[in-house]
Each structure stands twice: as structure tokens, then as C-alpha cells.
């Protein structure tokens, strides 16, 4: 059991006045632990703690080399506890344990390591010639207190994506984990304290919608960084706009994987296409759930995908042999099943999956599913399902594939698969998305910007651009 009483403010757990939130395993509904829901008063105290730490004390005086070293120490402490972190996140999210070691915790450490280096190289001050003679000193100052609202699907990774650039810029942070997965984020306090970060630089308030609303509404928060649904992102963006406060929104996706007509369907390619959809049980924002295939190879690709998917092992996420664990809760399972059923009733072909797996009545399991004979305007091809379901869509020629990929309200990520890397790169350059991988299912690079076009969000995380999102430029004209 992992129990965290109260709220984490100014370097210690304090008693909170909110209700207890029990965290249940999506695999068998057992209780994994609990946290305390932060009230608006708790949020006020956390924000004040962050403001105080940013205005005075060691963090306010820290140089960029100091901040870089602090980020590195935080990475060290997470790495020292990486197995325990992976166990907890696997249990509360349902991530297969073998995948969570890298896809949940390894990538979080990678983000921090990258920012340790990027911080040292980032130009927080530069002098340039003035247009009217003399010089101008341009300073990049911390934006202030950051309210970071996290999703449940990758809690520690997304915490790192927000913490690392914010700390690099000299900001202080109030983290708000999802009520579905607060335990891994609460565990971060052990690493935070061991790393020697000053008290109040990172504060943690757990809770649901009301806690998030209190954080967004707090006038002491200078910037909100949110990862989650597009619907919630719209509300947060509107609230920030009303007060002219900054925000970064990393929202939904319905990403496409374009299979070009020259592709070789070897084990690596088929495995990459399947991973692009099914990683973390399909519960990742960049999941490439629309697989676009040339008509003259349509059935060949479907057969290869279906064969690979049928062999995936469904099971207990703690078992390192498991490839597909449960989705996060009953509502998620029911939503996914309903979407697949509607697609079938509309004429789609369920190639494999589409029913609950046998022997898993205690948890929220969904059989990995391939849906064929789907048009790009179908509901199942338009809306984000957040589960292990891929739709395979036929295209006629390369221009058609690009048009289909871009025909979405989202624009987060994509992939292009081809034996000709130069050709694939040319196709990738035509896609209206934030990142594209070539012959790989992973469209995220730790040292590069990540974020979306259109309704996939505003702003970028990752790389030097991630730090730029947490600074305010100031010009001193000499």
C-alpha cells in the first residue's frame, strides 16, 4: 500500500482537510493506496509556498549551472528508485511492467538528463546592437509560479516534461496529479528531498476537477502547463485568457501512420506499427491509431497487423511477459467497446479483437483490436479512443495519403514507413503535425520540441523551446 496523507508543501507533507481518494488497480480493482484531496485553501498554501521559494532563498539566487546540477541530481534520485517507480506506475495505470520501465520511468529520466545539458547551453542573457545605436541587453527571466496539471496515463514522465524546463528557467512549481494515478507523482517527494532541491520549489496537491480549478483560478499562478483532454484544455485556456495568464496545453491526438507502397513488411516494421498503436495499452496521446495503407497492399498489411496483434499477450500488468494490460477504468473500457460496436454497425470490419478477453472479468481489459474498411470521416477515425484500437484506412496515391493524414481536427504526431528514407522525409514534411517519426513508432525526442497543431494544443514541451515557454524576455536598452 502507498498512502500519502495531506499535501506536500514547503518540503514536507502537511495535514490536509480534503477527502481521502482511494486509488484502485485497473487490473483487479484492489486498493493500491490513497492520497488526500487538496482543498482550495491547500492550493492557496501550495502556491504561496512556491511564490516564497521563487522570490527569496537559495532558488531565487541559483545560477543556471546550479539549476542544471539540481536537475541532474533529481534524475539521479529517480534513477536510484526506478524499479519502485515502475512498479507503482504500472500498478495504478495498468502499463505492462516491461514497458513501464522504459516508457514511463526511463523516458522521465531521459528528459531530466537532456535538460541538465540544455540548461547549461541555454542563453538566458544576450547583448545585441540597438537599432538606434548602443546596445540592448535581453534577459530571459523565470515566468514565476507554474501550475502543472498532469494526466493519468504517463504521470511521472509528464511531470518530468514540465518540471525540467520550469526548473531550468528558475521557476517554482505546484504539481497536480490526476486522481486516477497520483501515487507515482507523490513518490517523487522522496527523490525531490534526496536531491537537495530547496523547500517550496516543488509542491504537490492531489485531487480531482475542483482541485485543478482552484489551481487554475489562483491569481498567484503565473502559468498553467496542462496535459490532458482537448475539452478540458479549452476550459483551461479560456480561464487563463480571461486573466491574461500564460498557458501551455498538450491535448489530444488522432495520429496517422502512413505506410508507403514500397514498404517491406518485416518483423521490425510490423512490430513498429503495432507498438505505435498498442503501447501503454493504447493510452498515449501520440498513438498512431489511423494506419493509412495503399489500396494495392491493403489486405496484405491488414493480415500482417492482425497476425501480430493476435499474438500479443494480455495479462496482469505486473507480469513482465504481458504486452497488453487493462485500460484505466470501467468508463474507459465501456467507451472503447461502444465505439467499436458503432463502427461495426456502420459497416466496418472487425479483423481481430472487438470483444472482451476471456478470463479477465475482474479488471478493465480490452482485447487489442484492428478495424478495417473504415473511411476517414467515420467517428472511430475522427475521435480519440485512448485504447488498443487501430483503424486501417485505404488510400490511392501519396498525395491522397497526405490529405487523409492532415484531415483531422488534431495535429499532434504521425509516422511514415518506407524503404526510402528520403522519400519518407519528404512526405513527413507535408504533414501538419508537431512531430513525425520515420520508420519508428516514437515521435518524441528528449532534446526537441513536442506539441501539437490545431486542437492538439498550444505551445511546446521539450528541447530549448521548452525552456522558452517558461521565461519572460526583458530588454534593457543601454
Q: What residues act catalytically?
A: 250, 285
Number of helices (H), then strands (E), in the chain: 17, 23
**Residue 132 grid cell:** 538606434
Q: DSSP characters for 147-188? A: EEE--SSSHHHHHHHHHHHHHHHT-EEEEE--TTS-HHHHHH
For residues 92 and 32, the answer to whether their CB atoms sit within 8 Å is yes
Nine-digit cell string for 278? 498498442
Q: For residue 224, list its beta bridge partners.
A: 147, 247
32-51 exposure pattern, b = at least 16 Cβ within 10 A, e = fewer? bbbbbbbbbebbebbbbbbb
Residues belonging to the chain: 478
The secondary element (H helix, E strand) that includes residue 37 is none
Closest CA to 111 of 152, 162, 62: 162
Note the helical H segments in 4-154: 40-55, 58-61, 64-80, 82-93, 97-100, 107-121
**In whole angstroms, what is the distance from residue 323 CA to residue 343 CA?**
25
Residues sharing a CB contact under 8 Å with residue 332, sequence separation 6 or more, in sequence order: 364, 386, 387
DSSP bridge pairs for 246: 223
Amino acid at each position: 500500500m502507498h498512502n500519502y496523507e495531506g499535501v506536500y508543501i514547503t518540503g514536507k507533507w502537511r495535514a490536509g482537510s480534503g477527502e481521502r481518494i482511494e486509488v484502485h488497480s485497473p487490473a483487479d480493482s484492489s486498493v493500491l493506496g490513497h492520497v488526500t484531496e487538496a482543498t482550495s485553501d491547500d492550493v492557496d498554501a501550495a502556491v504561496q509556498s512556491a511564490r516564497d521559494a521563487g522570490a527569496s532563498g537559495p532558488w531565487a539566487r541559483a545560477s543556471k549551472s546550479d539549476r542544471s546540477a539540481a536537475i541532474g541530481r533529481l534524475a539521479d534520485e529517480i534513477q536510484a528508485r526506478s524499479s519502485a517507480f515502475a512498479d507503482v506506475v504500472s500498478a495504478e495505470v495498468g502499463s505492462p511492467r516491461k514497458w513501464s520501465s522504459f516508457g514511463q520511468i526511463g523516458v522521465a529520466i531521459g528528459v531530466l538528463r537532456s535538460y541538465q545539458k540544455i540548461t547549461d547551453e541555454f542563453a538566458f542573457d544576450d547583448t545585441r546592437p540597438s537599432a538606434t545605436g548602443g546596445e540592448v541587453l535581453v534577459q530571459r527571466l523565470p515566468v514565476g509560479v507554474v501550475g502543472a496539471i498532469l494526466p493519468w496515463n504517463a504521470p511521472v514522465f509528464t511531470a518530468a516534461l514540465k518540471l525540467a524546463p520550469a526548473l531550468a528557467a528558475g521557476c517554482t512549481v505546484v504539481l497536480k496529479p490526476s486522481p486516477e494515478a497520483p501515487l507515482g507523482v507523490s513518490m517523487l517527494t522522496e527523490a525531490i528531498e534526496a536531491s537537495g532541491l530547496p523547500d517550496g520549489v516543488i509542491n504537490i496537491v492531489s485531487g480531482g476537477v475542483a482541485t485543478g480549478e482552484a489551481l487554475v483560478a489562483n491569481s498567484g499562478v503565473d502559468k498553467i502547463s496542462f496535459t490532458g483532454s482537448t475539452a478540458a484544455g479549452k476550459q483551461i485556456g479560456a480561464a487563463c485568457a480571461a486573466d491574461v495568464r500564460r498557458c501551455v496545453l498538450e491535448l489530444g491526438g488522432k495520429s496517422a501512420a502512413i505506410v508507403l507502397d514500397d514498404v517491406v513488411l518485416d518483423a521490425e516494421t510490423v512490430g513498429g506499427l503495432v507498438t505505435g498503436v498498442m503501447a501503454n495499452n493504447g493510452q498515449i496521446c501520440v498513438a498512431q491509431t489511423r494506419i493509412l495503407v495503399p489500396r494495392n497492399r491493403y489486405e496484405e498489411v491488414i493480415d500482417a497487423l492482425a497476425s501480430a496483434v493476435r499474438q500479443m499477450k494480455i495479462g496482469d500488468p505486473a507480469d513482465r511477459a504481458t504486452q497488453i494490460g487493462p485500460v484505466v477504468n470501467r468508463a474507459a473500457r465501456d467507451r472503447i467497446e461502444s465505439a467499436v460496436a458503432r463502427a461495426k454497425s456502420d459497416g466496418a470490419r472487425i479483423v481481430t479483437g472487438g470483444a472482451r478477453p476471456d478470463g479477465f472479468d475482474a479488471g478493465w481489459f480490452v482485447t487489442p483490436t484492428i478495424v478495417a474498411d473504415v473511411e476517414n470521416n467515420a467517428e472511430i477515425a475522427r475521435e480519440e479512443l485512448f485504447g488498443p484500437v487501430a483503424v486501417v484506412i485505404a488510400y490511392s496515391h501519396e498525395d491522397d495519403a497526405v490529405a487523409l493524414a492532415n484531415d483531422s481536427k488534431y495535429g499532434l504526431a504521425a509516422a511514415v514507413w518506407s524503404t526510402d528514407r528520403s522519400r519518407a522525409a519528404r512526405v513527413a514534411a507535408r504533414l501538419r503535425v508537431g512531430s513525425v517519426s520515420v520508420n519508428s513508432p516514437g515521435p518524441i525526442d528528449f532534446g526537441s520540441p513536442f506539441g501539437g497543431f490545431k486542437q492538439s494544443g498550444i505551445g511546446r514541451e521539450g528541447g530549448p523551446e521548452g525552456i522558452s515557454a517558461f521565461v519572460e524576455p526583458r530588454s534593457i536598452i543601454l
